[in-house]
Amino acid sequence: MRKLHLIYIFLCSYTAHASAAPETPNAIPDSNDISYWGIQYENDFLGGKSDKYYTQGIEISYAKQGGTPDWLIEVADFLPTYEIGNRHGVTYSLGQKVFSPEDITNPNLQSNDRPYAGYLYGAINYINSLEIGPNKQHVNFIELSIGIIGPSALGEEMQNFLHRLIDTHIAEGWQHQLDDELTLGAAYSHKWRHFKRNHGKTQIEISPHTSIVLGNVYTYAATGIMFRWGQGLKRDMGPPNIRPGFIGSTYFVPRFDPNWYFFFGHELRLVGRNIFLDGNTNVDSHQVEREPLVGDLLIGFAFHKNKMRFAISHMIRSKEFTEQDEFAQYGSLNFTYYY
């Protein structure tokens, strides 16, 4: 933690007397009728040592600038802290997450390890970006989700299909997975973006954020900060992450010239519920003792040119339950296409 604090202090002091980097005029012409397709894939094979804890997640998103349903705008207007911005859009997502204990070859119930669980969901996210000045933006996110946890989420089928594909052990304990349960969730996040000029065409962005998430899957409050260094930061909020995770977006402004940036972030969550550890809501099921505080460290790199963006990142997550042996790690890949 001391090293992390030193990094924060260094970056903040380094940018304290800097000014904003100028925008370069090589963006593809803007339009109110633009759309994006994106795919986010997360797997502990990409960043960890074995198939355990958070095994994998995949999320496919379709985003459109403007075109937000009226009922969702009314939900946003109802919130006293929600700011209607200069730019807004809506993102529709379909995703799946899979969780398993450390020893997937053991067919017996492992009471001291996390339950097997699959999660299939759909979500809608309303995003507003408000220009406060030449070097500041406020970004608001509202997300509503619905899904299912249990055998109907096809977690067993997905995990073992991929394991057969790469010719490795299949998971033997899925008969102990969480039962089917309908899920509902709502989330509100706010991000404060601050830009500073570095050298030449590069910029530094320092962006603290907060989130509140309610539902029978996750209930938590979060705060964190993201640092980015590179080119064209104002035109890209960073790639999305599958919740719980850092605030990002499928949106970016495409450019003829290539843009790139490195990013590093930290988030701390106060967790009131995590169904993948607490077990089913209304029936008895496998559960473990949850840790109330969970921290994430994220580091990665993104590159985009013309109408495509590619990002790769590595996540380190602190222990989520008391019997967990070590921190969880996983890698993620993101690809987004503008059309």
CA dihedral defined by 172, 176, 180, 183, rounded to 10 degrees? -90
Q: Cα 308 vs. chain centroid, distance in angstroms?
A: 19
| Cα–Cα distance for residue pair 290/155, rounded to 1 Å | 22
User: Which CATH number belongs to the domain containing residue 146 in this structure?
Assistant: 2.40.128.140
Q: How confident is the prediction for the chain on average, in pLDDT?
A: 87
At 180 the pLDDT is 98
Cβ(224)–Cβ(241) below 8 Å: no
- Residue 19 domain-assigned? no
- Residue 283 domain-assigned? yes
pLDDT digits (tens, 9 = 90+) for 90-107: 999 999 999 999 999 999
| Cα–Cα distance for residue pair 332/327, rounded to 1 Å | 17
pLDDT digits (tens, 9 = 90+) for 60-76: 999 998 778 888 888 88
- Residue 183 domain-assigned? yes
At 82 the pLDDT is 79
Mean pLDDT of 268-285: 96
- Residue 65 domain-assigned? yes
**Cis-peptide, bond into residue 29, ω within 30° of zero:** no
- Residue 322 domain-assigned? yes
CA angle 114, 240, 59 (to 5 degrees): 60
At 328 the pLDDT is 92
- Residue 27 domain-assigned? no
Number of domains in the chain: 1
- Residue 13 domain-assigned? no
Name the nearest CA neighbour of 101 among 327, 250, 324: 324
Name the nearest CA neighbour of 248 among 298, 294, 198, 283: 298
Exposure b/e, 251-262, CB count within 10 A at least 16 = b:
bbbbbeeebebe
pTM equals 0.87
Residue 79 pLDDT class (50, 70, 90 cuts): confident
- Residue 15 domain-assigned? no
- The whole domain housing 140 covers 34-338
Residue 1 pLDDT class (50, 70, 90 cuts): very low
Could you tell me which residue, 329 or 7, shows the higher pLDDT?
Answer: 329
Cβ(63)–Cβ(251) below 8 Å: yes
